[in-house]
Amino acid sequence: MNDKLGLPVGTTLDRFIMRKQEDFPYATGELSQLLRDIALAAKIVNREINRAGLLDVTGAYGQQNVQGEDQQKLDVIANIRFIRALRNGGEVCTIVSEEEDGVIQTGNTKGKYIVAIDPLDGSSNIDVNVSIGTIFSIYRRLSDQGCDGTMEDCLQSGVRQVGAGYVIYGSSTMLVYTTGNGVNGFTYDMTLGEFFLSHPNICTPKTGSIYSINEGSFNSFPDGVKQYVNYCKENNYSARYIGSLVADFHRNLLKGGIYMYPPTAKSPNGKLRLMYECNALAFIVEQAGGKATNGSQRIMELVPTELHQRCPLFIGSTEMVNKVEEYLKAEVEVH
């Protein structure tokens, strides 16, 4: 008899969350349930993405989001699915979404948590079947329970996150998250309808040989970034840029590398959103042993002043982020 036939399928996300909850005697279960709600919505969105070409849900929706970007049909679908799951779960009082102008009150006034979410990152890749993803941040509310969440609840710095994660919809679907005690990744088994622990205790390499940046904008990069890109080429680093933040970040997290979205002439404050993208990935990379800055400041220490605030991002292996910061610092000193 083949010994492999009786091997266990692994630890499910639900069981893993339950075990981790037992590590914290003061935990009351709400955060665990919130993570389950996100996983459920991810399963539904995964189904929609896999059927997209058959159901005519690819392509532009015909409207723009608050950032002036053309919304794709799947952007809208994912936004609806995650908001509905979080509202029905009952643990979240307020949601802020990259696809919505203002805050979304769930009606769960006793909910303890705030969620900031990019329901579907990588919209430009939807129509061409390239990996896309979901990014989320979880905060404890600051206001008293019994009423709607406030803007102060939503505009918290990244150091106040109690959880963050992303889902990548690619050759396999994975959910990666942290609650401040390391990073763990789960792969979705569609035949069983479950996420299984596949990447326990993810630790990103201290350095790597991959750099990810849109070199089409090279001429408008700050001089320090240009010099670092040239340094990468001189050292025979590999350029890898998919154009889906989650996909580029996920590869570099596992293999070692740096993702950069610097300020440019077109986007002087950078293009990525602090609340919906940068904070969550910064929390994850730091928990995995990496680093995330805007070029001079730690991402998670930035205090947002508006919901859709943008910022530059340099994130990945610590030694690589340190190196690009050296070039940027030298540029400032010269000027």
Q: What is the CATH number of the domain that holds 301?
A: 3.40.190.80
Closest listed residue to residue 189, CA positions, set 67, 10, 62, 25 = 10
Same domain? For 25 and 98 the reply is: yes
| Contact present, 79 and 100 (Cβ < 8 Å) | yes
Q: Which domain holds residue 227?
A: 210-334
Same domain? For 154 and 297 the reply is: no
Here the tokens at position 181 are: 């005690």
Residue 205 lies in a domain: no
> Binding residue per annotation — 5?
no
> Binding residue per annotation — 327?
no
Confidence (pLDDT) at 122? 86
Is residue 79 within a helix (H) or strand (E), and if so which, with residue range?
helix 73-89
Here the tokens at position 60 are: 């532009």
Same domain? For 95 and 42 the reply is: yes
> Binding residue per annotation — 157?
no
> Binding residue per annotation — 219?
no
Residue 255 reports pLDDT greater than 50: yes
Quote the distance between the C-alpha of residue 274 and its chain's center.
Answer: 11
3-state helix, strand, coil in the chain (%, to 5): 40, 25, 35
From 172, 199, 226, give the residue that closes a domain.
Answer: 199
> Binding residue per annotation — 98?
yes
Tens of pLDDT, residue by residue over 26-42, are 567 889 999 999 999 99
Residue 316 lies in a domain: yes
Residue 54 lies in a domain: yes
Contacting residues for 70 by C-beta, under 8 A, at least 6 apart: 60, 61, 63, 64, 123
Same domain? For 33 and 171 the reply is: yes
CATH number for 14: 3.30.540.10
| Contact present, 225 and 327 (Cβ < 8 Å) | yes
> What is the rounded distance in angstroms from the CA atom of residue 311 to the CA atom of residue 147?
31
Same domain? For 177 and 129 the reply is: yes
Confidence (pLDDT) at 20? 83
> Binding residue per annotation — 35?
no
Tens of pLDDT, residue by residue over 268-318, are 999 999 999 999 999 999 999 999 999 999 999 999 999 999 999 999 999
pTM of the model: 0.92
Domain count, the chain: 2
Same domain? For 249 and 309 the reply is: yes
> Binding residue per annotation — 101?
no
Name which residue leads in pLDDT, 193 or 5. 193
Tens of pLDDT, residue by residue over 256-267, are 999 999 999 889
Same domain? For 240 and 101 the reply is: no
> Binding residue per annotation — 118?
yes
Same domain? For 19 and 146 the reply is: yes
Residue 245 lies in a domain: yes
Same domain? For 171 and 254 the reply is: no
Residue 3 lies in a domain: no
Same domain? For 232 and 280 the reply is: yes
Confidence (pLDDT) at 1? 43
Q: What b/e readout covers 46-84, taking b as 16+ CB neighbours within 10 angstroms?
A: bebbeebeeeebbeebeeebeeeeebbbbbbbbbebbbe
Q: What is the mean pLDDT of residues 38-63?
A: 74
Residue 7 reports pLDDT greater than 90: no
Same domain? For 225 and 268 the reply is: yes
Residue 224 lies in a domain: yes
> Binding residue per annotation — 271?
yes
Q: What is the mean pLDDT of residues 72-98?
A: 93
> Binding residue per annotation — 216?
no
330 φ/ψ angles, rounded to the nearest 5 degrees? -65, -35
> Binding residue per annotation — 139?
no
> What is the rounded distance in angstroms from the CA atom of residue 106 to the CA atom of residue 13?
25
From 174, 199, 224, give the residue that closes a domain.
Answer: 199
Residue 4 lies in a domain: no
| Contact present, 209 and 238 (Cβ < 8 Å) | yes
Name residue 300's amino acid: M
Q: What is the mean pLDDT of residues 320-326?
A: 98
